[in-house]
Structures are given as C-alpha cells and as structure tokens.
Amino acid sequence: MNRHSFVHRAGRAVVVYTAIAAVLAGCSSVKLDESQAPVSERSAVPVTAGSSAAGASGAAVENRTVVPVQTGSAEMAQPPANVERVIYFDFDSYVVKPEYVGTLEAHARFLNADRSRRVVLEGHTDERGGREYNLALGQKRAEAVRRALALMGVQEAQMEAVSFGKEKPAVAGSGEEVWARNRRVELTYR
C-alpha cells in the first residue's frame, strides 16, 4: 500500500469519525420550554430553632441538619485526569489519526461541561524542513485539532490554535523515534 492511499484512507476515517461525533453531539441535548413546566404553589410555615414543623399532610416533620452539596468544582479546576494531552501526527501530515478520537472526545466533554474553560492548541513539528514551512505545518495541525473539537461541540471562543513549528521540541536529537515524538499538538488549559 503506498503512502498516498494510506493517508487518504486515514483522512477518510477521521472524517467519518468526526461526522459521527458531530451527529451524536447534536442529539445530546433537548431545549426545554420552561413556560410549560408544571409548578405547584405551596405556602411556607415559619419554624424556629428547636421546634418541629408540619408537613403538607399536617404530620410532624423531623428536624435534620442540611449538608452542603459538593459540586465537584475543585476537581473540575484541573484538566481531565488520565487523559493524554498530546496528539501525535505522521510525517508531513496534519490529519488527526482515528486512534485519537477518544482522547479528543474526553477533552470535548471536559470543555463542554464548563464553557468558561479555555484551551490552547500548540502545534509542533520535527526538525526537518524550513522554519516557515514548519510554522505553517504546526498551525495546520493545531487547526485540525481545533476543528475536530469544534465538531464535538466545543465553542470556538474556548480554543486558540498556535504554532511553534520546530522551535520547541519535546525530545532533543535526531532519528525517527525522536522526530515522531516532536510531531504533535499539545492541549494546554488556561
């Protein structure tokens, strides 16, 4: 199988996975018309400390301490745990591989849960190629991840795509293993 047909098939698979995710994301919420919601009117009976209150049926209601609800905001302050924050790319490519769809879905769920969260998508390349070419390729990689997240429901205002080209390698050196680790997009939460 030649490189072109592999890239074409991988690209087609990403488009299919992305389209499926977009369709599922579009089906995930229902707008409610709150003006049609049933409302029951009840009157409040003042209760002083130490006294008992009567319920709607007139029976005594037991005095209990109210425990505050934990909203999980402390744990949501951090990016999703145990989820990879780096998406790797093939040589000279900005196609998101199908193996990263699950990772991107986890990040999309995290960002969609709190629309005030922001993520910077930092595109990187290996050392091969000119500076301008690598800056452009890094930007295309960051934009590819941004588009995938947008199709999963993340708002454009929550994302920023930037490129560092070959200027900030994850691993120093040369060789295919090193280059493969440097062809990436890092998701950095702010």
pLDDT digits (tens, 9 = 90+) for 130-183: 999 999 999 999 999 999 999 999 999 999 999 999 999 999 999 999 999 999
Per residue in 6-35, pLDDT tens?
Answer: 555 555 655 555 555 554 455 444 444 444
Measured CA to CA in angstroms, residue 15 lies from 20, 144, 148 at distances of 9, 11, 9
What CATH number matches the domain at 86-189, 3.40.50.720, 3.40.50.150, 3.40.50.620, 3.30.1330.60?
A: 3.30.1330.60
Domain locations along the chain: 86-189
| Alpha carbon distance 165, 133 (integer Å) | 8
Output the six-digit token pair for 103: 């990772």
Q: What is the pLDDT of residue 79?
A: 76
